[in-house]
Amino acid sequence: MTREKTMRKFPRVKTPDSTLDAVKKGYLFVTEKCRNLKTDIFITRLLGRKTVCMRGNQAAEMFYNTEYFERKKVAPNLVKATLFGHGGVQGLDGAKHRHRKQLFMSLMGRDDIIHLAELTVDKWSEYAEKWENEIDDIILFEEVEKLIFEAVCEWTGISLERNEVNSRAKDVAAMIEGAGSLGKRHWKGRAARTRTEKWVGDIVKKIRADEDHNGESKVLQRFAWHEDLEGNLMDSNTVAVEVINIIRPTVAIARYVTFAAHALHQNPDSRKKIMDEEEYLTNFVQEVRRYYPFFPFVMARAKKTFKWKDYKFRKGLRVLLDLYGTNHHPFIWENPEMFNPDRFKEVVAGTYDLIPQGGGDYDQNHRCAGEWITIKLLKESVRFLAEAIHYNIPPQDLSIDLSRFPAIPKSRFIIKNVRRDKQKTTVDKNLADIVHSEKQIS
Residues found near ligand HEM in the complex (CB under 6 A): 89-90, 101, 104, 245-246, 249-250, 252-253, 256, 294-295, 298, 356-358, 366-370, 373-374
Rank residues 254 and 418 by Cβ distance to ligand HEM and give the closer one.
254
| Whole-Å CA distances, 175 to 22, 85, 242, 413 | 21, 10, 14, 20
How far apart CA 433 and CA 182 sit, in angstroms, is 40
Under DSSP, is residue 174 helix (H, G, I), strand (E, B) or coil? Answer: helix
Which residues in 206-342 belong to E strands, given as ranges?
A: 297-302, 306-308, 311-313, 318-322
Select from 264, 332, 331 the least CA-distant residue to 292: 264
Smallest distance from ligand HEM to CB 111, Å:
15
Rank residues 102 and 392 by Cβ distance to ligand HEM and give the closer one.
102
Select from 258, 288, 287, 301 the least CA-distant residue to 52: 301
How far apart CA 221 and CA 361 sit, in angstroms, is 26
Smallest distance from ligand HEM to CB 231, Å:
22
Decide if 386 contacts 267 (C-beta within 8 A).
Answer: no
Smallest distance from ligand HEM to CB 209, Å:
26
Smallest distance from ligand HEM to CB 299, Å:
8
- φ, ψ at 176 (rounded to 5°): -70, -45
How far apart CA 330 and CA 73 sit, in angstroms, is 33
Decide if 241 contacts 247 (C-beta within 8 A).
Answer: no
Smallest distance from ligand HEM to CB 243, Å:
10
Rank residues 90 and 282 by Cβ distance to ligand HEM and give the closer one.
90
Our CA dihedral for 37, 39, 43, 47, rounded to 10 degrees, sits at 80
Rank residues 152 and 414 by Cβ distance to ligand HEM and give the closer one.
152
How far apart CA 441 and CA 435 sit, in angstroms, is 7
Rank residues 87 and 370 by Cβ distance to ligand HEM and give the closer one.
370
Rank residues 257 and 386 by Cβ distance to ligand HEM and give the closer one.
257
Smallest distance from ligand HEM to CB 103, Å:
9
Which DSSP category does 357 fall into? T
Smallest distance from ligand HEM to CB 422, Å:
26
How many C-beta atoms surround the C-beta of residue 345 within 10 A?
11
Decide if 46 contacts 18 (C-beta within 8 A).
Answer: yes
Smallest distance from ligand HEM to CB 357, Å:
4
How far apart CA 367 and CA 365 sit, in angstroms, is 5
Rank residues 63 and 391 by Cβ distance to ligand HEM and give the closer one.
63
Rank residues 294 and 413 by Cβ distance to ligand HEM and give the closer one.
294
Select from 408, 385, 416 the least CA-distant residue to 173: 408
How far apart CA 188 and CA 227 sit, in angstroms, is 33
Decide if 299 contacts 317 (C-beta within 8 A).
Answer: no
Rank residues 98 and 312 by Cβ distance to ligand HEM and give the closer one.
98
Smallest distance from ligand HEM to CB 17, Å:
24
How far apart CA 405 and CA 416 sit, in angstroms, is 27
| Whole-Å CA distances, 216 to 193, 222, 230 | 26, 6, 21
Rank residues 92 and 281 by Cβ distance to ligand HEM and give the closer one.
92
Rank residues 10 and 295 by Cβ distance to ligand HEM and give the closer one.
295
Rank residues 229 and 275 by Cβ distance to ligand HEM and give the closer one.
229
Residue nearest ligand HEM, Cβ-based:
370
What percentage of the chain's residues is helix, strand, coil (to nearest 5)?
50, 10, 40
